[in-house]
Structure 1
């Protein structure tokens, strides 16, 4: 409900790709939970995603979010595993929101 239609198409691809991830492990380090997963068809190439349970800050070592500006499939996998019902606000860039104001000339 927050993303523009165009961006939601890309976000939906990442959400759908969660089905192609295999859980490897989960470990807690203080308030951070470290998830390790593998992409289906790429065994032995783990992807690590971190979530701080106090702030719901997510960080993925694939750096997709930093490059593309939307959460990656690994982050959505962790959100699903942690039963988050909404995408943390810090992962939704203002420019991709439906309610972002257009810059007027």
Structure 2
């Protein structure tokens, strides 16, 4: 690794995404940046790249605009806007300006290997826990928490606000009396003699329990395939 931003990409990106970045790094040897115009903090570069066209070679010119104070780059190939990684033309401009580390804003969060990913809750039909869990509600909580963490990013001051707030929510949920029935799936404990009660004395809850038990009995569980 020659440039510092190559080590920076390798430490931040996943292996598959870093391989895409390496393709752009190899193209640096075929790119040459020339400063054409400079007005205030805005610099305009023409980057010439030698590309393989059939059995011959062809020179292609790209225009890159650079804001020297904000360290913002915009290339006419639009690779960063559509692909999410910096192109060889923008990196060539950084090298020409003796900048060997890219700002963190050019390392998108979705490609990072250390990002904490939220997984959706998938209900199953062979566990009693699935009957009591609301997957949509579970996913909504995850999305809300992900938005809060995204707002906090790496700000220690904001994280100090989040942690006490979560602890307070947990304590309040623990102390609040639940207004609904228990989430534990009901089991049929009614004796055989009570099954002959008239329809008017049968509650909807007991009907739901008996239907659930009947479905679990009639469902056929298949054995897995034998693997040698």
**TM-score, normalisation: structure 2:** 0.43
RMSD: 1.5
User: What corresponds to 2:24 in structure 1?
Assistant: 14
Structure 1 residue runs of 4 or more that deviate by more than 4 Å after TM superposition: none
- The counterpart of 1:103, out of the listed 118, 121, 126, is 118
Question: Which has the bigger relative contact order, CA under 8 A and spacing at least 6?
Answer: 1
1:84 shift after superposition: 1.4
**In 2, Cα distance between the equivalents of 1:8 and 1:102?**
19
Work out the number of aligned pairs and report it: 104
**In 2, Cα distance between the equivalents of 1:47 and 1:6?**
27
1:100 shift after superposition: 1.3
Structure (1/2) with the larger strand percentage: 1
1:27 shift after superposition: 2.3
**In 2, Cα distance between the equivalents of 1:42 and 1:22?**
14
1:85 shift after superposition: 2.3
Correspondence 1:30 to 2:40: yes
Structure 1 pair 55–17 and aligned structure 2 pair: CA distance change class (3 A): same
**TM-score, normalisation: structure 1:** 0.88
Structure (1/2) with the larger helix percentage: 2
**In 1, Cα distance between the equivalents of 2:43 and 2:68?**
7
Larger Rg: 2
Correspondence 1:87 to 2:97: no
**In 1, Cα distance between the equivalents of 2:38 and 2:46?**
12
**In 2, Cα distance between the equivalents of 1:60 and 1:84?**
17
**In 1, Cα distance between the equivalents of 2:58 and 2:75?**
17
Runs (5+) with no aligned partner, structure 1: none
